[in-house]
Amino acid sequence: MSCIYRIKKNMHTYTETEKKIAEYILNNKDEVINFSSQRFAKEVDSSAAAVVRFSKKIGYKGFTHLKVELAKDQYDDDESIDKLIKEDDSSETMIRKALYSNHRTFTNTYKLINVPILEEAIDALKKARRVYLFGVGGSGVVCEDLYQKLIRIDVEARYFTDAHLEISALSFADERDVAIAISYSGVTREVVTAQKMASAQGVKTIAITQVGRSDLTKYSDMILNIPQEESELRLGSIASRFSMFAVSDLLYLGVAKDNIEQTRDKLVKTRQSVQSLR
């Protein structure tokens, strides 16, 4: 989890005071890790409370937690490779660009993982009576993948590509259930509507979405961020789907490892059932 990457990717959400705090950290990393919140506040002409609020806004427990992560940070912001596809690109160049873009997206995805939130989400899934999955388009592909994984280890999961069926099924959801909404933009109408309904009924809600405040995050108890790709022409439009897979796989693995022997037996049993169709 990269503190510097997290600060940079949230930049568009900051107030003027928060931007001043963020820019000072980015330009004076080595100094900041030795500051108290009071000393730092003086440097940016703000208050210690504002410094603590900023730290919490980007996912830390407080300024001390931010400093610990900042001290461990080894962020590499190499933008030297052009990630846009060009007409005259050879196959070798296209492969190299895809490799770079996808590797970068995976790396940045794992840097963004908030471990306490991930653990909270996994714990909620383990205790859930049912797991509802919301996603359309490319995000729907990720939902379908997670749905199949959960079903194979005997987790009661539900995923519908039809929005009407999705809303109908939610009529019976309550605080014993968990909803996972996947949307890169965080504003997909069908997904936000389902998550809003789930939240209103007391369902524990998890969102996998890009960094920043959105309609989806307003109705989500646990938010797992993926990198924000600013240009629609970047290969990241493909890579961002990989980042969704990466986060959803972490949720699945967290549930599956709870009783690894039992999980292995369930996977073997489902595999044998499928083989009977061959």
- Domain of 142, CATH number, reads 3.40.50.10490
Cα four-point dihedral sign 153, 123, 216, 25? negative
Mean pLDDT, residues 239-262 taken together: 89
Same structural domain for residues 161 and 260?
yes
Mark 237-256 as b/e (b = at least 16 C-beta within 10 Å).
Answer: eebbbbbbbbbbebbbebbb
CA distance 77 to 80: 9
| Domain-terminating residue out of 38, 72, 106 | 72
What is the distance between the alpha carbons of residues 83 and 101, in angstroms, rounded to a whole number? 7
Domain that holds residue 24: 3-72
Residue 80's pLDDT band (cuts 50, 70, 90) = very low
Decide if pLDDT at 136 tops 90. Answer: yes
- Mean per-residue pLDDT for 92-105? 79
User: Is residue 146 domain-shared with residue 221, that is, in the same domain?
Assistant: yes
Q: 167 near 152, Cβ under 8 Å? A: no
Least confident of 131-135, 178-182, 237-241: 237-241
Whether residue 141 is found in the same domain as residue 218: yes
Please indicate, yes or no, whether residues 133 and 64 belong to a single structural domain of this protein. Answer: no
**Residue 216 counted as domain residue:** yes
Does the residue 85 lie in any domain?
no
Residue 101 lies in a domain: no
75 has a pLDDT exceeding 70: no
Query: Is the residue at 204 inside a domain?
Result: yes
Q: Are residues 251 and 139 in the same domain?
A: yes
Residues 34 and 141 in one domain: no
CATH number at residue 28: 1.10.10.10
Per-residue pLDDT, averaged over 3-24, amounts to: 89
Instruction: Determine the length of the chain.
Output: 278
Does the predicted model carry a pTM greater than 0.75? Answer: no
Instruction: Find where tokens 């099924």 sit.
Output: 169
The answer to whether residue 99 is domain-embedded is no
* 9 located within any domain: yes
Q: Provide the pLDDT for residue 228.
A: 78
- Please tell me the predicted confidence (pLDDT) of residue 120: 97
**Exposed, middle or buried, 190 (CB in 10 Å: 0-12/13-18/19+)?**
buried
pLDDT above 50: residue 232: no
Residue 51 lies in a domain: yes
Q: Place 29 in a pLDDT band, splitting at 50, 70 and 90.
A: confident
Domain total in the chain = 2
Q: Percentage of residues in the chain with pLDDT exceeding 90? A: 57
Question: Are 220 and 150 contained in the same domain?
Answer: yes
Q: Are residues 125 and 241 in the same domain?
A: yes
- Please say if the pLDDT value at position 25 is more than 90: yes
Q: Which of 63-67, 96-100, 229-233 has the lowest mean pLDDT?
A: 229-233
pLDDT band at 233 (very low <50, low <70, confident <90, very high): very low
- Kindly state whether residue 227 falls inside one of the protein's structural domains: yes
The H helix count followed by the E strand count for the chain is 14, 5
- pLDDT reported for residue 211: 83
Q: Are residues 156 and 269 in the same domain?
A: yes
Residue 68 shares a structural domain with residue 119: no
What confidence category does residue 83 fall into, taking pLDDT thresholds of 50, 70 and 90?
low
Question: Do 65 and 119 fall into the same domain?
Answer: no
